[in-house]
Amino acid sequence: MIRLTVTAAAVSFYMGRTHASYNTRERYQAILQTAIKLFGERGYQAVSIDEIARTAGVAKGLVNYHFGSKEKLLEEVLRQGTSALFDQLDAVAHRAGSAKEKIRAAVELYLAIASTGPALTQMAMTATFDATYSEHFRKLWQSFMEENLSRFADLIEEGIERGEFKPVDSRLVTQFVMAMAFEVLRLAMLRQEPLNPPEAADQVTRILFEGIGR
């Protein structure tokens, strides 16, 4: 039988590495969550790496070490945000209920997420065409938007197949719904009024279903 002897030094070395790795993960998440908060409140252009580092309580060099640049940090913010959104949209799509109910839930989900970071949402609406961002970032964001539109269009197609909706261009309807949702959000921001996502979703989908519902 093989006997393993674990020395105190080995335990100390292992625990030290585990603790260091844990601290690294903590710092990474602190930077990421700080960026989400600051970008969401004030917008990407108004926030500096220095401010992110100071607010997160880490050295500026650690921000660059983990993310490389402010734009790369923004990419990760959007990547994680869209991943969470897509997971929630998948949950909506696979639950029981009519296509109308699923679309209303999806609209409320969009509005709830967008209203938590209005400045970031404004940036997202124009980033594809904003030359201040790199071509790589604009293409990446465009791919996120395409995936988002595709998932929502699938809900429209489901309603058409079930006979809940008239035969329509699901892509065009999706763009119409997104435009309405963002306009509701924009007006709330201009008026400096809090947005009520359930009420706003009711308003948007009522207009939608009066146009294509049977």
Q: Is CATH 3.30.1360.20 the right assignment for the domain spanning 70-214?
A: no
CA distance 212 to 193: 30
1-68 and 70-214: identical CATH topology = no
Q: Where are the domains of the chain?
A: 1-68, 70-214
Residue 176 CB contacts under 8 Å (≥ 6 apart), including other chains: 208
Per-position DSSP letters for 124-137, written without gaps between them: HHHGGG-TTS-HHH
pLDDT at 132: 77
- The reported pLDDT for the residue numbered 211 is 64
Cβ atoms 181, 198 nearer than 8 A: no
| pLDDT of amino acid 139 | 86
Q: What is the DSSP letter of 173?
A: H
pLDDT of the residue at 3: 41
Could you tell me the two tokens for 55?
Answer: 């607010």
Residue-level pLDDT, tens digit, the chain, 214 residues:
334 444 444 434 333 444 444 488 888 889 988 988 888 778 788 899 999 999 999 999 999 899 988 889 988 888 888 888 889 999 999 988 999 999 999 999 988 888 777 666 777 667 767 777 888 888 888 888 888 899 999 999 999 999 999 899 999 999 989 888 888 888 887 887 888 989 999 989 998 888 665 5
Architecture of domain 1-68: Orthogonal Bundle (1.10)
- 86 exposure class (CB count in 10 Å sphere: 0-12, 13-18, 19+): middle
